[in-house]
Structures are given as C-alpha cells and as structure tokens.
Amino acid sequence: MNNINTFIKKPWEGLLPHLDFLRTLREDMLDYGTLSDYTLRRIANLINSDDNNRKKAIQEISALKNELGADYLQREKERQKNLTREIIIAIENQAKR
C-alpha cells in the first residue's frame, strides 16, 4: 500500500500514463480486496529508488495493467451489483449442565 501511495504522490514522467491505474489499485486495496496475494506481493516488491528500478516498476505496472485490464475494478463493481445479499443467522443450542 505504501508503494502505491508513494507512486501516486511522487510520480515521475514515465509513471504518469499509469496514475489512473495506480489509483484503481489503491481503491481496490482499501475498499474491495479483490487482488490476489500474488498480485499484492508483486505490488509490494516495486522499488522507486533509482532509474533502473523505476524502469522495472513501470514494466511490472504495465504487466499488471495488461493482465488485469485497466478497468478491472469497474467490471468487478458491476458484477457485485448483480449479486444478491444474504443474511445468515445461526443459533447455537447450548445444553445446561
């Protein structure tokens, strides 16, 4: 999460085309939690320290964008709208001794 926030708050020129996608990732992490552990690890491993690491970060972000789709969260929101919500109430009978 800190990586995403840092990238959004202090973007460099090569990262600018991906800012909307980074904001989508942050929204997903905060509100929806649809990302797999593997994807979250990939995001956590992004490094912003020097030009070489920045290039690798942009490549990884581009790969995530291609794999998930730029609008993946919007599709997930639409899918969740169509789900019906169920409330399940369980009652435990406890015998007195």
Domain boundaries, the chain: 2-81
Residues 63-72: contacts with CB under 8 Å, at least 24 apart: 64/21, 64/25, 64/39, 65/18, 65/21, 68/39, 70/20, 70/21, 70/24, 72/24, 72/34
Higher pLDDT among residues 70 and 93, named by residue: 70
Q: Is the pLDDT of residue 8 over 80?
A: yes
pLDDT above 90 covers a percentage of the chain that reads 70
Q: What is the structure's pLDDT at 13?
A: 92
Q: Please state the pTM of the whole predicted model.
A: 0.79
